[in-house]
Amino acid sequence: MSTKLTGKQRRFVEAYTGPARGVGAQAARMAGYSGCSRAMAARAHECIRHPAVIEAIALAAQGSRDAAIATVEDAQRYLTQVMRDDEAPAAARIRAAVELCRMQGAYVSRVEVSGPGGAPINTTSRPIPLHLLSEAALEELERVLLARDAAEDALRAR
């Protein structure tokens, strides 16, 4: 926390980002401010407007957010542990290895798409709204998407 805070402001930030869960009047009371509920709300408003308190709340929120979210490295570390665990079922170990490979770009799904008779498909730089497509174009799009999904399912089954 910032050194620019008074003791009560520091306690306010701790309460606001902790047990009070963002309820300013409750955080003010927990920090040691006194008065009626209207006075607590006014004190909380005052605290929340103070630049050092704003900074401390942002830092505290960032710290809790970072701790709560696993990083890609955390996921890879966990999957590696599962993959190397001789006690884990073989299916779990294989699945962990496959997921690790996917995360590291080892598998690339490629689906070649062509127009009628093998001709190239014309593309535009902006998306075409689906309601403007003909029935034939919608059927072709559905065929392509189903082929892509089947290819991805086949890769997952390996």
What global pTM score does this model have?
A: 0.42
Residue that finishes a domain, picked among 18, 50, 68: 68
CATH number, position 62: 1.10.10
Residues 56 and 45 in one domain: yes
Residues 101 and 83 in one domain: yes
Residue 63, domain member (yes or no): yes
Place of tokens 């008074």: 6
Total domains present in the chain: 3
pLDDT digit string, tens, across residues 78-129? 999 999 999 999 999 999 999 998 888 887 777 778 888 888 887 766 777 8
Could you tell me the residue range of the domain that residue 137 belongs to?
A: 109-158
Residue 51, domain member (yes or no): yes
Please report the pLDDT score of residue 2 as a whole number. 45
Please report which helix (H) or strand (E) contains residue 99, including its range: helix 90-103
**Long-range residue pairs from 40-45, CB within 8 A, at least 24 positions apart, any chain:** 44/12, 44/16
Q: Which of the given ranges, 37-41, 72-76, 93-97, 149-153, has the highest pLDDT on average? A: 93-97
Question: How many Å apart are CA 13 and CA 3, to the nearest integer?
Answer: 13
